[in-house]
Structure 1
Amino acid sequence: MFNSAIISVVDDDELILISLDSLLRSYGYTVNTYNSAYAFLDSCGPEQTDCLISDIQMPGMCGVQMYEALAARNAHIPTLFITGMPGLPPQFSARVRKPEGYFSKPFNTDALLACIERALKRRI
């Protein structure tokens, strides 16, 4: 299966980056991984990303702050959030308008892949 979409994954957990990179590449996606929100924002990632998967809790800038920074740049990338924390953080729903998805770790990969596909179809 070949998908021309570029998926960026931002997470401070190297094992998550490796596993999502492997999973998404096996479905034909091009994958870029970043170990922090700053690394993503300081790269050309925002301009080259069709769908973003981001951890919420990260040192420095959290995923919600990165989402807000992208919105301030007028970069509206379909975003799926993943987290190791149970339940939504209190500030999440007040600050994130339209996330494509929210997944607690460990997450169901079929549900994640289906969510990515829906997000990419809406982006076209």
Structure 2
Amino acid sequence: MVNRTLISIVDDDQPYRESMRKLIMLLGYAVEAFPSAADFLASHVLHETACLVTDVNMPGMTGVELHRYLLDAGHAIPTILVTAYPDEVVRDQALKDGVVCYLSKPVDDDYLERCLRSALQPGTPIEDNS
């Protein structure tokens, strides 16, 4: 049986967005991918999204800003942040704000899978991978 749980990806880097889309599909999830926060927010899948995987550093609205916007708008979508430029201050604040995981690119496939499971089943422990 195919898992129809929808994971949305927001990343301005098209090759990375596409590779992340393929990886998450291989893990058995339905996936929608967007080049910007604005495109995601304007999409028909916003309310169907079970988990959001978003880049931290994007033009326009960053992944951190997108997470905060969604919370403020009443859309508490479990969020996984991904970045090529890890920053401990941003990481610590994002985790305090309720982000499920803060991952560095390139993402470890197994750790991403654990983060997705934790996002979709709150209370599932994630072994720290930092």
In structure 2, relative to structure 1, the CA distance for the partners of 1:11 and 1:71 (3 Å cut) is same
Cα displacement string for residues 44-90 of structure 1 (whole angstroms, at most 9, x for unaligned residues): 23201000000010001111111111112100000000001032354
Q: Is the 8 A contact 1:7 1:50 kept in 2?
A: yes
Which residue does 2:127 correspond to in 1?
none
TM-score, normalised to structure 1, is 0.89
Q: Aligned partners of 1:119, 1:6: CA distance in 2, in Å?
A: 12
Which structure 1 residue ranges, 4+ long, deviate > 6 Å from structure 2?
Answer: none
Which residue does 2:50 correspond to in 1?
50
**Uncovered stretches (5+) of structure 2, i.e. residues with no partner:** 124-130
Which residue does 2:35 correspond to in 1?
35
Instruction: Tell me which amino acid in the other structure corresponds to 1:74.
Output: G
Number of residues of Structure 1 aligned to a counterpart in Structure 2:
123
C-alpha deviation, 1:3, in angstroms: 1.9
- Could you tell me the percent identity over the aligned residues? 36
What is the 5 A alignment of 1:1-124?
2-90=2-90, 93=93, 97-122=97-122
TM-score, normalised to structure 2, is 0.85
RMSD of equivalent CA atoms? 2.0
**Uncovered stretches (5+) of structure 1, i.e. residues with no partner:** none
Instruction: Tell me which amino acid in the other structure corresponds to 2:43.
Output: S
Q: Is the 8 A contact 1:7 1:51 kept in 2?
A: yes
Q: Aligned partners of 2:63, 2:80: CA distance in 1, in Å?
A: 10
